[in-house]
Amino acid sequence: MADEATRKAVSQIPLLKTHAGPRDRTLWPQRLKEEYQALIRFVEQNKAADNDWFRLESNADGTRWTGTCWFIHELLRYEFRLEFDIPVTAPLWKWEVSRFTL
């Protein structure tokens, strides 16, 4: 079960309402806009809480995402690059991170 702080944080992120994937040329731009709005809100929340831990960007059509994430342990910063593709069958099919390197 999620604690109250987690529920509050999640409730402030806009919900994704458009059920579309990259193949759906008419609805995909709307879905991508919703994805960006949720991601921007999540980043804003993290920065306000001094919990900034990732950068993420996509290609022009929103199907390939790249970025970095990091954490600090015992005063050492560990940074990872990540890449993933949104499959054309999304959102009906699961997707996974294709590359995660140190």
For residue 13, tell me if it sits in a domain.
no
pLDDT in tens, the chain (102 residues): 678 888 888 899 999 999 999 999 999 999 999 999 999 999 999 999 999 999 999 999 999 999 999 999 999 999 999 998 888 777 776 666 666 666
Q: Is residue 15 part of a domain?
A: no
Cα 37 to Cα 11, 81, 100, distances in angstroms: 14, 23, 25
Sequence-separated (6 or more) residues with CB below 8 Å from residue 17? 34
**What total number of domains does the chain contain?**
1
- pTM (two decimals): 0.81
78 is in which domain, residue-wise?
20-101
Can you give the pLDDT at residue 40? 95
Answer whether residue 57 is part of any domain. Answer: yes
Provide the pLDDT for residue 66. 94
The CATH number of the domain holding residue 51 is 3.10.110.10
Residues in a beta bridge with 84? 65, 97
Does residue 1 belong to any structural domain of this protein? no
65, part of any domain: yes
Tell whether 81 is covered by a domain. yes
In whole angstroms, give the CA distance from residue 72 to residue 52.
11
